Structure 1
Amino acid sequence: MQQNNGLDKNQLIIFVLFTMMLVGFMFYFQSKQKVEQQANGNADKTQVAQKPAENTTKPAMVTNLNDSVQVNSIQKVELKNKELTVAISSLGGQLSTVELNEYKAYNKASDINDKKLLLFDKNNSTYGFQFKDKTGKVFNTKDLVFAPTQSGNSVTMQANVNGATIQFIYTLLDKYTIDFNVKTHGLSQVVSDSKADFVWDFSARQMEKGRSQEQTHTEFNYTFDNYQSFDYDGRTTMEEPKETLNWLAIKQQFFSMVIEPQNGFKNSHGSQDMIDEGEFVKKFNFNGQVDLVGNELNQNFKWYFMPLDLPLLKSYDKNFDELLPLGWSFIGTLNRWFFIPMYNLISGWGIAAGWVIFLMTIIVKIILSPVMFKQHKLSAMMRVIRPEIDEVNAKYKGADAMKKQQETMAVYRKAGVNQMAGCLPGLLQVPIFYALFRFFPNMIDLRGKSFWFAKDLTAYDDVIKLPFHVPLLGDHLSIFAIACTVVILIYTIMTAGNIQQPTQEGMPNMKVIMYIFPITFLFFLNTSASGLSWYYFVSNAINILIILVIKYWILDEKKIHAQIQANKQKEPKKEGKFQKRMREMMDKAQEQQKAQQQTGKKK
């Protein structure tokens, strides 16, 4: 009697009830969350977003080249446009505070993005030009005290070093750009080298909910070959002794800080170290050489403090769009020309981000429907011919494995089942999966967008808190990850009946492996973007519905079984080229095996 390991009609009812309960539960959380968001929104409107220019009088000890000690008051001058608020400190003449006005950082206390998004602040960034004087002594501009002069949205910082003058001229341009012009006069009388080092120390502040995910996306990025070549380094060191860097960036998950020298950085090297806990996620150090002309440094630089928004990045025409880690080659193309435009189109209809993802899933399923339908139909047909396969296994029990495999393939051939046809949909899913794995945690339009339990679709939802930490799982359980795991498990149960059990000793039981896979998927999704979990929940739920439709409304299993029995009485169908090649290879292997056995007996 044929055994059916799929879901019966009672199980179908249970699945539908489970889905209805889950959807109802999600709507409850959504309505509750809307009330909280309205309350938070009203509170935000009452805050005043103005900050006056700050002049501090905190004394600092600064030693100049004459070893004389002087006390100076450290001043800060503020510049502001719609996108940026920056403060320039007279100590080092450097940017000390950089705030992105239109974005907020994650606040662990409120579990939402409501803190000021400060890329530079509290001395997490220091930079300057390092010179060697004629006595061999090294000095850095970050240790000097500059005198500020402000004119509109431009500030000139000036310092004197043994008769030499160093000027840093900062001009806040449109959007996210700060012009940084460096001029020196009389420096040739002080220094002996024809180059200077630009040294930048930076600690990346945590700004997103998922710390480990943000650490993974925080790294060095840079271009060379006249902006044509791009590279990145997420390891411990970066070494580019031969290339001239057109720009260098320290990129975080959704934001990036870029320094662009007019004549490039040479002999560049840097280091980066993970920070396990606390306010910061990673520590960086960069050192790149700039040339002096006549032992003077007169060069224009630009700072960019940007959100990783693809249209914005492309508008600069400096290869900044490579900062967005959408994947290499075909994967990146799939995101740039398919998933991002599709998301932008659907989100333009004014619907919630979660429903945008839902409709994206439906569209992808429709596009893949021809091959997916063939895969599910093939799966159903393999379940129907299971009794025939069992007969072959019983008939050739104890025989050599090659003969048994030949007879098994013959059964598939008579039934019109092409096993290789089931591989194509699986291969198509691989680039789609990896593209979405890149898409969801890096799509800035999804950042901070809530949906049901998830307060941010680019981070995990942690409604279920654990009183302890579980290795690889964390201190929470994601409801979206659990829901996705459940539907994958149901799908596995429905399809596992088609898997042939191993007939040789030592071979792994594939059914057990398939049942373990959904559990491991929970560990993967629990700390991933909830948008990814939601997508795969919908995707696998659709797969289940397709299987049920094929089983109960499209595929007549009795008719297929009768046709297989009738085919046994007919002449075998002409083999296809691939099947013929496979059979010839198996016949040859069987002959070689017999020859080896005979040789062994003679010995």
Structure 2
Amino acid sequence: MDKNTIIGFLLIGAIVIAFTFLNRPSQEQIAEQQRLRDSIQQVESQKAVSEAERLATDGPRQTSEIKQQNRAADFFATGTPAANDSIGAPADSTTETKAAEEEFVTLENEKLKLVLSTLGGSIHAVQLKGEKKFNGDSLYLFEGDEARFNLELFNRNSVRLSTEDQLFTPILTADGKSVIMRLESSPEQHIDLIYTLPANEFMLGFDIRIAGMKNGLHPESLTNFRINWEQKIRQQEQGRQFENRFARLNYRYLGQDVLKLSDSKNERKELTEPVKWVAFKDQFFSTIIIAEKPFSNTILTSQPLSTTEYIKDYKAETWVPVTADPQKDELTASFNYYFGPNHFYTLKNYDKAIKENNQKLYLEELVDLGYKWLSWINKYFTIPVFNYFLKFDWGMGIIILIMTLLIKLIILPLTYKSFKSSAKMRVLRPQIKEIEAKYPGQDKEMMLKRQQATMELYNKAGASPMSGCFPMLLQMPILLAFFFFFPSAIELRQQSFLWAHDLSTFDSIIRWEANIPFISKFLGNHISLFCLLMTVVNVFYTKYNMAATDTGQTQMPGMKSMPILMSVMMFFFLNSYPAGLNYYYFLSTLFTIGFTFLFKQFLNEDKLLAQLEANKKKPKKQSGFMARLAEAQKMQEKQARERAKEAAKKNYRK
């Protein structure tokens, strides 16, 4: 450091000391400053006492409302959060404080009981009156943190306001059918979440209304509100595995078919087309969000859960189109919630007042009635007939019995035709054995001659192996339609019959907790009695039918035991299915056996054989199918002869 630098520092220090000495306050000034400090302290003390008295009088809730108003006012007026605060998460409120300040309001009618929370202004719980969980508890679709609703808004500085962390003020209407949850920054500026529940309805009206805040919002929030809806799906039925199979997140594009996410794996889908509704579906109950104006830019997520209490976790993030009212300086968005059963006619009735087809909801498509080419049987026959019999209050077991008998009577002509075809094959059995004795062996030439002679016999006698198959094929759609109807029929839920306490789920007579390899995987941890009875009767009928339809022709090894094996395999497949379905299959097979015995009594096989012998003497025109089959056989026989000649020539040359 040089000499000039040292002299400079000394001069600066001297100046500072001199300035401090010359500006030192006098004794009078010091006394005046002390007096002012004492006065300020006294004023602050009086203010603290007044604030404490006001808190004791008004309570913490009013203070919280004022703070909420200040936060909302700061958000919309200045575009920034309040000092030492963050939008959507007040720094001065812990989780315990919020819980203490949270209040609940009940809104209910004859079918629903809704509990609304002031924290977030959202639906806290939904109870379906008159419905019970499989264990007898009251049926709640969700309660507490099992569901989450959040409205997100952005101000002009892109600061986010999340309603789920805000405390709303409830306002009940005079008629008791509506509740307004209000987040207010001033009398002219507020956010309203309006819930309207009509009498005797599962449908809840929901409106979002923002007043006096248009100038403070980001342009994006002026056209669309962003909402998030999440819900964990409770296990409501006894058969968790089966219920899980029918629990799916469904959605419908505007004017298009109903689609769904996977029921067995995690799936996330981004939808860019307009979406009319999104359904969080269980086997028998659903939460449906229905847009007045179609949702846009929707993201759906479905996740299976392995906990004992829940089976699925659904999420929907979407943008709700906004309607602006410039005269009132209001922004509104409207949609509906459906909290209720997956009942076909209940859901279908919501389209009665909608005349335009492209605006219809088609909520009844949530009821799984099978593939499109099959579901029409359930929609236009099974369900109407089933509902007709419900009027008589006969009990589900009797109704299923009557419906099974009715179905069997309708298809009785087809059953008789199939039986008669089998009888023709049976009376021709001795002649078939003669043909097999005439053309013995398994070489190709003998097999072709044997087959050709057999088909010629059938053609002359007027019998056809295929004539018995076509009636059976025509019955298959009805059997398949019922396979889809019973698991989706909420009318069977918790309806008992004989030993089955609930026809909508399995009727276990034996249960175990241990995991048995292979057995538990396919059967579950139980044995269903109706399924067991159905299997026993089906095996008996299969063996009887095989004996009755034996034509005497030689079959491939193992083919005779295949039908019986298939009947046994059905037990493993259907053991976890509803008792109502297995009861129907059990009755159906019993009726089939009964009609078969009746047919056998009325059909004289001697007369039938005489008729077939008479047919041989008549000129017979082959059907198109039989003609083509005969032509194919002739072609195969010709090719076989040519191959034999070629082989003979080669051997001769050698």
TM-score w.r.t. length of structure 1: 0.81
Structure 1, unaligned stretches of length 5 or more?
Answer: 1-55, 108-113
1:318-371 Cα shifts (integer Å, max 9, x gaps): 322222222243422211221112112223223121111111111111111111
1:29 corresponds in structure 2 to: none
1:42-86 Cα shifts (integer Å, max 9, x gaps): xxxxxxxxxxxxxx99x9x99742863334411111111111100
Q: How does 1:440-589 map to 2 (within 5 A)?
A: 440-466=486-512, 468-469=514-515, 470-497=520-547, 498-499=549-550, 507=556, 509-551=558-600, 553-561=601-609, 570=617, 573-589=620-636
Residues 573 and 78 from structure 1, CA distance in 2 versus in 1: closer, same or farther, beyond 3 angstroms? same
Residues 233 and 594 from structure 1, CA distance in 2 versus in 1: closer, same or farther, beyond 3 angstroms? farther
2:232 corresponds in structure 1 to: 203
Residues 396 and 238 from structure 1, CA distance in 2 versus in 1: closer, same or farther, beyond 3 angstroms? farther
Residues 565 and 304 from structure 1, CA distance in 2 versus in 1: closer, same or farther, beyond 3 angstroms? closer
- The 2-side partners of 1:563 and 1:366 are apart by 27
What amino acid is aligned across from residue 514 of structure 1 in structure 2? P
1:314 paired with 2:348, answer yes
Question: Higher helix share goes to which structure?
Answer: 2
Contact 2:439 2:450 (C-alpha < 8 Å) held by counterparts? yes
Query: Which protein shows a greater Rg?
Result: 2
Q: How far does residue 574 in structure 1 lie from its aligned partner after superposition?
A: 3.4
2:107 corresponds in structure 1 to: 79
SS at match of 2:407: helix
- The 2-side partners of 1:291 and 1:578 are apart by 61
1:239-292 Cα shifts (integer Å, max 9, x gaps): 353321112111211111111222221122212122234111111111122235
What amino acid is aligned across from residue 204 of structure 1 in structure 2? I
2:243 to 196, 202, 214: 214
2:28 corresponds in structure 1 to: none
1:246 corresponds in structure 2 to: 276
SS at match of 2:560: helix
Residues 64 and 390 from structure 1, CA distance in 2 versus in 1: closer, same or farther, beyond 3 angstroms? farther
1:298 corresponds in structure 2 to: 332
RMSD between aligned residues: 3.0
- The 2-side partners of 1:430 and 1:296 are apart by 59
1:189 to 216, 235, 243: 216
Structure 2, unaligned stretches of length 5 or more?
Answer: 1-60, 69-84, 352-360
Residues 225 and 137 from structure 1, CA distance in 2 versus in 1: closer, same or farther, beyond 3 angstroms? same
SS at match of 2:190: strand
- The 2-side partners of 1:255 and 1:574 are apart by 59
What amino acid is aligned across from residue 602 of structure 2 in structure 1? I
- The 1-side partners of 2:143 and 2:648 are apart by 82
1:405 paired with 2:455, answer no
Residues 139 and 502 from structure 1, CA distance in 2 versus in 1: closer, same or farther, beyond 3 angstroms? farther
Paired residue total? 535
What amino acid is aligned across from residue 144 of structure 2 in structure 1? K
- The 1-side partners of 2:184 and 2:463 are apart by 84
1:234 paired with 2:262, answer yes
Structure number with the bigger relative contact order (C-alpha 8 A, sep ≥ 6) is 1
- The 2-side partners of 1:277 and 1:102 are apart by 27
Q: How far does residue 312 in structure 1 lie from its aligned partner after superposition?
A: 1.8
Contact 1:466 1:477 (C-alpha < 8 Å) held by counterparts? no
1:74-129 Cα shifts (integer Å, max 9, x gaps): 1111111111100111122111100111211211xxxxxx2111012132111222
2:40 corresponds in structure 1 to: none
Q: How far does residue 563 in structure 1 lie from its aligned partner after superposition?
A: 6.1
Contact 1:250 1:257 (C-alpha < 8 Å) held by counterparts? yes
Q: How far does residue 564 in structure 1 lie from its aligned partner after superposition?
A: 5.8
Contact 1:501 1:509 (C-alpha < 8 Å) held by counterparts? no
1:183-206 Cα shifts (integer Å, max 9, x gaps): 123265253534443211111111
- The 1-side partners of 2:218 and 2:649 are apart by 89
1:143 corresponds in structure 2 to: 165
Q: How far does residue 385 in structure 1 lie from its aligned partner after superposition?
A: 2.4
1:171 corresponds in structure 2 to: 196
1:363 paired with 2:406, answer yes
Contact 1:502 1:508 (C-alpha < 8 Å) held by counterparts? no
- The 2-side partners of 1:495 and 1:582 are apart by 26
- The 1-side partners of 2:639 and 2:269 are apart by 54
